[in-house]
């Protein structure tokens, strides 16, 4: 599955409001529509968004071992846990309740262009490679 792609994409352009603006905020826990991934989003460097994987539907592999980022292109990061790993770091504002940047997928070790939009308790993320894009939908965990 593309758990991390979804994570990365969803977090890439997550929410378009400044951390100091009134109204909806992207900060919080977000559950992917298929229920397999939860991401914790917070503001970093002022108005930028960062996100880390905070939960997985299945935290262990079939053999009972913990899920690791073994497809990471950086060999030094292949032994890190998937839970707690970043999916996006520093998505920049791209309009009201919109962000853009890069998202990382532990599913394949790829980094993709990302566009995120906050719509109330819905967070819509689009991850793109060249002209091919995948939509990821998240809902706020209350």
Phi/psi for 126 (5° steps) reads -125, 125
Mean pLDDT over residues 56-60, rounded? 94
**What is this structure's pTM?**
0.80
Please give the Cα distance from 30 to 51 (Å, whole number): 10
E strands, the chain, where? 28-32, 37-44, 48-56, 86-93, 98-105, 110-119, 122-129, 132-140
Beta bridge partners of 114: 101, 127
Beta bridge partners of 68: 81
- Encode pLDDT of 79-130 as tens digits: 999 999 999 988 999 999 999 999 999 999 999 999 999 999 999 999 999 9
Radius of gyration of the chain measured on its C-alpha atoms: 14
- The per-residue pLDDT for 46 is 87
Where are the domains positioned within the chain?
3-140
Contact criterion met (CB below 8 Å) for 74 and 80: no
CATH class of 3-140: mainly beta
């Amino acid at each position: 599955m593309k758990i991390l792609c979804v994570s990365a994409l969803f977090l890439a352009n997550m929410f378009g409001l400044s951390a100091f603006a009134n109204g909806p905020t992207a900060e919080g826990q977000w559950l992917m529509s298929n229920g397999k991934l939860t991401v914790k989003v917070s503001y970093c460097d002022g108005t930028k968004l960062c996100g880390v994987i905070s939960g997985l539907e299945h935290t262990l592999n079939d053999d009972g071992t913990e899920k690791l980022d073994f497809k990471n292109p950086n060999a030094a990061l292949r032994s890190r846990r998937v839970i707690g790993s970043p999916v996006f770091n520093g998505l920049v504002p791209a309009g009201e309740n919109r962000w853009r940047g890069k998202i990382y997928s532990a599913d394949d070790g790829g980094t993709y262009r990302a566009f995120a939009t906050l719509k109330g308790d819905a967070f819509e993320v689009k991850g793109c490679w060249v002209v091919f894009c995948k939509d990821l939908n998240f809902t706020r965990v209350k």
